[in-house]
Amino acid sequence: MRIAPGRLPSDPSERHATLRDYFCDIDASAVDCGDAWELTLAWPADPERHVDPTLAAGLAWWGDGVRYETMFAAQRRSGKILRCLYDSWTLASWSEWMTRQPEADQQPVILHVDDHRDLGSPRLRVGADGWSDMISGDPVTLLDPISVTNAITSGAIGMGSFMTPFLHRFPQCEVRHLCQPPKARSTEIFRFKPDVVSDSLLDPLASRPSMILRDSEQRTGPSTYLLTASLDDWLTDTQDRPLLLHIDLDYFNNRYDGDSDWALHASPLDPPRDAIMARIDDLMSVLTKPDIAARIDDVVIAFSPGFFPAEFWQEADRRLVDGLGLSDG
């Protein structure tokens, strides 16, 4: 992949920061070829890149021979539940859900359990005939799960940007975001609006899908984004609409937050094991109520290496899967 020479800083540290910010989950290196920069992408294999010192033990528990550089692809489905290491696979699961719907424009409620909003701009080019992957050049269509899978694999759709394409396709849906302090201390209401942003690296003439949040007084309804730490507020007035449940385990503990300087964080979300498991049980108690459980069409559980500590993976997984009772369909 080649880009014009003026698009990257000449200073190595600034160039590294620019590439990390743009490509996010996947590592990029650039070689100066004089008339262009030659970019090479690779999923990171360095344990220090993934921050968590207990990650190797977590991967051993996961099994399937997964390595640091193959974590991005690790996933397994059991009935309605997709378990994955990277939560970018949530969009692939939602894409499959779309293919099963008798009504193409049915607007779901997204139950987003996460320490992040995941509303970044994916590396997708917006064109007159739809979206294309800015890394591979391939078309991306949400009604084609294979195309979504390919865009996740290329790095075009990442952990922090998987929500945005779905909200572009379903601009009248609702997002209910359950988040713990310090990132959520009260219930806030926003309206979301699909938008586009100019690309900053691969093609400055291209536009990419983005999302705007604006304060709103409308508590629920189409195009609303509710951010709350309250389980009661989170599920209020979801009516009879289908529910898509996404659980990122960093909601329960985000000790590392993907940051090598995690030990310096002033107010990390790092509760002890007992508090984590009690919070999982609290979440299960509301999600298994008959009027809620019957409407959950799809569940994604993401383990988030480098965010949620791997020392808790096994126990958290068992509590969630047993608590949801959805493993057999």
Domain residue limits, the chain: 1-42, 47-324
* Neighbour count for residue 237 (Cβ, 10 Å): 10
Which bin fits 118, alpha (ψ -120 to 50), beta or left (φ > 0)?
left
Distance CA 251, CA 269 (A): 8
* Neighbour count for residue 152 (Cβ, 10 Å): 28
Distance CA 85, CA 192 (A): 27
pLDDT of residue 326: 62
Contact criterion met (CB below 8 Å) for 121 and 161? yes
Assigned token pair, 129 = 């005939």
**How much is the CA Rg of the chain, to the nearest whole Å?**
20
pLDDT of residue 329: 46
Contacts of 32 (CB under 8 A, 6+ apart): 5
Question: Among 20, 211, 21, which residue's Cα sits nearest to residue 120?
Answer: 211
φ, ψ of residue 323 to 5 degrees: the values are -65, -40
Contact criterion met (CB below 8 Å) for 132 and 125? yes
pLDDT of residue 320: 96
Contact criterion met (CB below 8 Å) for 312 and 254? no
User: DSSP alpha helices (H): ranges in 193-293?
Assistant: 231-235, 273-287, 290-293
Q: Global pTM? A: 0.95
Which amino acid would we find at residue 240?
Answer: D
pLDDT of residue 218: 82
Contact criterion met (CB below 8 Å) for 84 and 75? yes
Over the chain (329 residues), what is each successive 10-residue block's mean pLDDT? 91 94 94 93 92 97 97 95 97 96 86 97 97 98 98 96 97 97 94 97 96 91 96 91 96 93 87 98 96 95 97 97 72
DSSP secondary structure letters along 121-176: PPSEEEETTEEEETTT--EE-TT-HHHHHHHHHHTSS-TTTSHHHHHHH-TT-EEE
Assigned token pair, 33 = 């070829």
pLDDT of residue 220: 87
pLDDT of residue 328: 44
CB burial string 70-102: b at 16+ within 10 A, e below: ebbbbbeeeebbbbbbbbbbbbbbbbebbeeee
